Structure formats: structure tokens, C-alpha cells
Amino acid sequence: MNPSPIVYVIGTFDTKGEELSYAAERVSACGCKVRTIDISTGVSGAKVDVSNEAIADCHPSGRDAVLKQNDRGSAVKAMAEAFAVFLPQQKDIGAVLGLGGSGNTSMVAGAMQALPFGVPKVIVSTLASGNVAPFVGPSDIMMMHSVADIAGLNAITKTVIANAAHAVAGMAQHRLEKPIQSKPAVGMTMFGVTTTAVGKLRASLQDSHDCFVFHATGMGGQCFEKLIDAGFLGSAIDLTTTEVADFLFGGILACTADRFGAFIRRKIPCVISAGAVDMINFGALETVPEKYRNRKLYQHNSAVTLMRTTPDENAKIGKWIVERINQMQGQVHFVLPLKGVSALDAQGQPFYDPKASQALFESVKENWREAPNRKLVEVNAHINDQQFADAVLKSYRDFMV
């Protein structure tokens, strides 16, 4: 137990001073030290540990770029930039608690995302019952819905704020000691239709490696690469690159334009494949865009509809992936399963389409640039076959020995 962690309580003290002070009191009552941070964008004068002027001074263009904006939107954006510089520089953070509306949420979330994995991060927000992906991002931020607006203390806001304060104090006091990593860490990507393949790889590697599996849902890939950038994962088996298909063609589980960027920056050894690029993900059937309604669709369940990629789309997917692999300076093997890239792409299954698969493989080979650190491996097997798992393991062990 950490006897006296410092909890940062963050918000706009000019408009939420009463509520933030109440949160600080509740944290202190739990035995934690408190540091109050004001991120107001106007004249505040609040009695806090770190003033909004001090935060604004962290902006690359100086204090005036934050506090002398003509409109609130520009001021909020500038304060968010300043706070994103300030917060990661603090070395005594036991936990962070932010509370407020949309402005406060946008200002604190980006800075919290920059903190290391494992530092407790809680935001009480009026936006926490909607789409929180822009605020949580590829991090371990916890968001609590404020229920009522954070505009004065009442029976509801006191209860919610106290719960958040007590929770963050408990997290700060009882943080798990960082486990000693006795085995090398390898990251893997998986989708339901590549689960069999990843399961075989985990079974073969778990005695010698810590295996971290990431669901290829767009945000899953971002979490995967954030941990690579942080140096937490020393190697990767990026078997399931389906997020690229969604990114290129409007699916709901898309990666960002920086997919594979961490591989390029960190130069880690990796095995990459084309798992589940035979599909683009949408929600319920009625949410599929009109232009795709006549395509080959498969209802995975009532909330998920999959669309088979065409030969032209597969060629573009292959080219996009290979163009990024060609930039990698670390050891990388791209292993292609020539008999199908997902459970739905096997012979006799709904997405079986040899022409589409061939377009993918030909595009990969056409755009591939030979280099001593890069190897293209073709395996005459389905992605979920043991033969393919064996080939991936051989590639991985070739450069991990």
C-alpha cells in the first residue's frame, strides 16, 4: 500500500470550484495528499496548488495563447495543449481525477492519455454516457457519468463526485506493484475469425513468453501499438490486420493512418499476416451504407454485419499494408495463408472467394520491396490450420533466437 500518494484533482475552478473542492476534500479524507490544478481559460483567482496561469505558461506559444483568446473554443483547445505538456512532466502522480462538462473533459482527456499505463485516471463527465472513444482512446482512463450536470452540489452530484473521489483514492493507495517481467512480452492481434490461429500460437509460446492479445477492433490496434511505442512489447505477431480494410472502406472498426507506425518507429521484430482482411465491419444490418446493400453480407449477430471485400479492395488493402512494411527497419516476416485469411474465407464458407484472395496476394507480391530485414513467406494453408501456425512460429523464432 502506498501510504501517501498524491492525487491530482483537475478542473475549471472558476466555474466548478465548489464541486472540485468537495472532490479534493473527499480524496483527502481517504488519506491521500491532494494537488488541485486549475485549467480555467479566463481570469480565475482560485485558491489552488497550481494556477491556470502556470498551466497556460506551458503552452508552446506562451500564456497569452491560452488566456487571451477571443473565443471559448480556441481557449479550450489551447488550454488542452498546455495541459498536455504540463501533466506528463509531473513525476509524483499517484492518480488523476478530472470532473466537469464537455470543455473540461476535452482538456483533461488528452493529457491523461499521455500518462503511462497503470496510473489511475478517472474523469467524471456529463459526456460519459455517450461515445467515450475520443476521450479514452488507447488508454486505461475510466469515465463516470455525472448523471446530473456538474452545476452545484446536491444529493446526486455529491454522491457521484464522492464515489469518484473514493474510487480514485483507493486506486492510488492500492496500486498493484509493477510485476517483474521474467519473460519477453509479445503482442498479438486477434479477431473471432482468427481465434483458432492465435490460440495455437499462444499455446506454443506461453511457457517462454508473456503473450498479450489485442482484439482488432480499431481501438484494440491502437492499444497494441501504444504499448509498442511505450517499450512494453518487445516483439509482435500481428496476425489480424482487418482494421486496415475498415479504414480504407468505411467500416466501423477502423485503424488510423498510423497503423504499423509503432513498428516503424521502434524497429521491433515482428511477424505480420493478412488475417480477416476479407471483411469490412458494420453494425446491425440496417446500418450498412446504402452503396453496399447489394454486396455479399453476412450477419455475424444482430449487432454486427460483415461485408466481403472485392478483388479490387483486396488489392488496395495489400498495397497499403506492404507500403508500410517496406518502411520497417526491424526484422519482419509477412506470412500469407494462401488458402484463406479467416474462418469465413475457408472453402465452403460464406466469404470463400479465390479471385479476391488472389488479388490480395498478387498485390502484396507486386508491391513488396526486398531487403535483408524483410521476408515474404507464402504458406499453402488456411490461416487457422496448424501448418500456418507452424510457419508463423518458425518465422518468429528465426529472428528471436
pLDDT value at 249 more than 90: yes
**Residues 390 and 382 sit within 8 Å (Cβ to Cβ):** no
pLDDT at 227 over 90: yes
Look at residue 283 and tell me whether its pLDDT is greater than 90: yes
Ranges for all domains in the chain classified under CATH 3.40.50.12020: 6-173
Would the CA dihedral through 288, 289, 292, 294 be positive or negative? Answer: positive
Q: In the chain, which segments carry CATH 3.40.50.12030? A: 185-400
pLDDT in tens, 42-59: 878 889 999 999 999 999
- Tell me the pLDDT tens digit for each residue of 98-146: 998 888 899 999 999 999 989 999 999 999 988 898 899 889 999 999 9
pLDDT of 401 over the 80 cut: no
pLDDT band at 2; cut points 50, 70, 90: low
Q: pLDDT by residue (tens digit) across 300-327?
A: 888 899 999 999 999 999 999 999 999 9
Torsion of CA 250, 355, 320, 292, to 10 degrees: -10
**Alpha carbon distances (Å) from 172 to 1, 358, 388:** 9, 53, 45
Burial class of residue 272, CB neighbours in 10 A (0-12, 13-18, 19+)? buried
- Residue 358 has a pLDDT of 97
pLDDT tier, 88 (very low <50, low <70, confident <90, very high otherwise): very high
Average pLDDT over residues 325-338: 97
Q: What is the Cα–Cα distance from 236 to 221, expressed in whole angstroms?
A: 12
Burial of 215 (0-12, 13-18, 19+ CB in 10 A): middle
Contact 322, 362 (CB under 8 A): no
Q: What residues are paired with 282 via a beta bridge? A: 305
Say if residue 1's pLDDT is above 80: no
Q: Is it true that domain 6-173 has CATH number 3.40.50.12020? A: yes
CATH superfamily placement of domain 185-400: Uncharacterised protein family UPF0261, NC domain (3.40.50.12030)
Task: Give residue for cell 518487445.
Answer: 234
The mean predicted confidence, pLDDT, of the chain is: 94
Q: What is the mean pLDDT of residues 173-197?
A: 87
Tell me what pLDDT residue 179 has.
62
3-state class (DSSP) for residue 212 = strand
With 90 as the cut, is the pLDDT of residue 157 above it?
yes
Average pLDDT over residues 204-211: 93
